Copies of this chain bind each other. A is one copy, B any other.
């Protein structure tokens, strides 16, 4: 067990830190929260800067245009960029964390060449079309269907909870290509151009009042057959290959950020007098333990990244998400108690974060689904009823 940097890791860390110190002051001011085109431009500018400095696709395989870095080095990247206050991945989330890795793993050489460099350079933005109104936790119940006409799939249906849809170039789309097949069969994975005729984007307002998600309505949208990644009707497997790809470390930056918030909370409590309340202090102490251990768990998962994923190890992403999403909600509930009536100001960043944290136990598999996965795949309990 070793938590110190190797010589290579230390060199990488110092070089990155130096680059961040020089680069971050040169960035333009961040755009307003609701100006999506400006946010796209900002996020893609940052991605391009990373690309130019050799940090894009750090841990992607070299044949996919990446640098083949170890998970530990990638984690250092996530840690240091967050600590330095660098921009988030933002609009490039789906491209870099899901669609890109899927194409890298399952695409043809031509498909990789077509899409991956543009993702890494920040030239093209992807969004995700998986969820549907009637298929929430039960993703495989999706109904959006594609009819093959010669070299084209004609797609009709609707998708929901799509981030950055207004500004995306491509959508990674799951569609039903065989309605007679069992639920998990008969699904295909398509790269749909967002500019195609028949694609309508409707903003979806969340309880936080923001419009970061959208609904996609697809009315006879043509997608060339060459935009299918993987075999026809094999899309469920294709998408699952990478759905857990980053689960262990996807929240690495957020955990670093939560630890910083927690320290801010302690200082705020000291300044506003709430520190004298042992019950609040002890909650802060407990959260410190949880987030310290969550960070260590992230490091563990990074190191175990290429270990065989059987038994409990296979569900480590679910374990992490279950723990982290609840800890994050507890963090911001504690922030509210610390702020008292000031927490009723929706303009306070901790209150905004409290609202958005409500989605953490729901999105990308509810806590209930995560617990099913842990029980059945991790602990080998009989299939639930």
Contact = CB atoms under 8 A, between A and B. Distances in A.
Interface of A: 277-279, 282, 385
6 contacts: A277-B278, A278-B278, A278-B279, A279-B279, A279-B282, A385-B385
Nearest to A282: B279
A283 to B, nearest CB: 9
A38 B385 CA distance: 50
Contacts of A282: 279
Nearest to A276: B278
A385 B282 CA distance: 40
Contacts of A279: 278-279, 282
Nearest to A277: B278
A382 to B, nearest CB: 13
Shortest 6 CB-CB contacts between residues of A and residues of B: A279-B279, A385-B385, A278-B278, A278-B279, A279-B282, A277-B278
Nearest to A385: B385
A289 to B, nearest CB: 16
What secondary structure prevails in chain A residues at the interface with B? helix
Contacts of A277: 278
Nearest to A281: B279
A278 B282 CA distance: 10
A278 B279 CA distance: 6
Contacts of A278: 277-279
A279 B385 CA distance: 40
A271 B284 CA distance: 28
Residue among A278, A282, A385 with the highest chain B CB neighbour number at 10 A: A278
A286 to B, nearest CB: 11
A277 B276 CA distance: 10
A277 B279 CA distance: 8
A58 to B, nearest CB: 44
A367 to B, nearest CB: 17
A375 to B, nearest CB: 15
A282 B279 CA distance: 8
A277 B385 CA distance: 45
Nearest to A283: B279
A277 B281 CA distance: 11
A385 B385 CA distance: 5
A355 B84 CA distance: 51
A264 to B, nearest CB: 22
A110 B277 CA distance: 67
Nearest to A279: B279
A290 to B, nearest CB: 17
A306 B278 CA distance: 48
A282 B280 CA distance: 11
A279 B278 CA distance: 6
A385 to B, nearest CB: 4
Contacts of A385: 385
A278 B278 CA distance: 6
A282 B337 CA distance: 14
Nearest to A384: B385
A277 B282 CA distance: 11
A269 to B, nearest CB: 13
Residue among A277, A279, A282, A385 with the highest chain B CB neighbour number at 10 A: A279
A333 to B, nearest CB: 15
